[in-house]
């Protein structure tokens, strides 16, 4: 009987790992896909991402009353993510063709984002196993898994917000040049 339980547990863990790897691969594939630059889609994406960022910061602000300085981690993560979003705009391939305006995000930046997500998952696992509380540690090494989770999540939101705003500006600029 214990072998059956062990085999079932192993199968569940293997399936869970497979789902995580598949979701990362699909996210990477979607992140590097060539897209047509439609102004209404870019506008909707910008507003929805702005709402998401605002809601995230409000929730983090409220959580900071109980969890300490996580708002600082969120703001730093969002700033770093915004800078990565600007870098993403620079590295994006823009194409103006007769069929329309197209853009393809950078493969390297999409890979960096996937590595950040995977590293956060790995760090959470490692931190849960090896956490030791010591008063002499640097704030970076003594930060909780929650603080790093908030920083990574804020970084991703900041990246997508900066990128969405930049795509919207670039499409608008292209359309103004095209019709004038």
Q: Cα(130)–Cα(126) distance, rounded to whole angstroms? A: 6
pLDDT digits (tens, 9 = 90+) for 153-180: 899 999 999 999 999 999 999 888 877 6
Given a contact cutoff of 8 angstroms between Cβ atoms, the answer to whether 104 and 92 are in contact is yes
Identify the band that residue 141 occupies on the pLDDT scale cut at 50, 70 and 90.
Answer: very low
pLDDT digits (tens, 9 = 90+) for 60-107: 999 888 888 889 999 999 999 999 999 999 999 999 888 889 999 988
Q: Identify the residue with better confidence: 160 or 134.
A: 160
Domain boundaries along the sequence of the chain = 32-129+137-179
Given a contact cutoff of 8 angstroms between Cβ atoms, the answer to whether 157 and 56 are in contact is yes
The pTM of this model reads 0.77
121: which residues sit within 8 A by CB, 6+ positions away?
20
Q: Cα(22)–Cα(129) distance, rounded to whole angstroms? A: 25
User: Tokens 């004038």 correspond to what residue?
Assistant: 180
Within 10 angstroms of residue 160's Cβ, the number of other Cβ atoms is: 22
């Amino acid at each position: 009987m214990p072998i059956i339980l062990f085999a079932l547990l192993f199968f569940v863990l293997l399936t869970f790992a497979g789902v995580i790897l598949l979701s990362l691969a699909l996210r990477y594939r979607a992140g590097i896909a060539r897209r047509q630059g439609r102004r209404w889609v870019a506008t909707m994406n910008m507003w929805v991402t702005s709402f998401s960022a605002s809601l995230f910061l409000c929730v983090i602000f409220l959580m900071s009353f109980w969890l300490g300085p996580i708002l600082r981690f969120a703001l730093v993560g969002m700033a770093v993510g915004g800078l990565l979003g600007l870098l993403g705009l620079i590295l994006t391939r823009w194409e103006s063709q007769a069929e329309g305006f197209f853009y393809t995000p950078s493969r390297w930046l999409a890979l960096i984002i996937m590595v950040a997500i995977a590293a956060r998952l790995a760090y959470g696992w490692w931190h849960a196993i090896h956490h030791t509380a010591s008063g002499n540690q640097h704030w970076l090494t003594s930060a909780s898994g929650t603080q790093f989770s908030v920083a990574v999540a804020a970084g991703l939101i900041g990246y997508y917000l900066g990128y969405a705003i930049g795509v919207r500006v670039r499409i608008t600029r292209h359309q103004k040049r095209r019709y004038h």
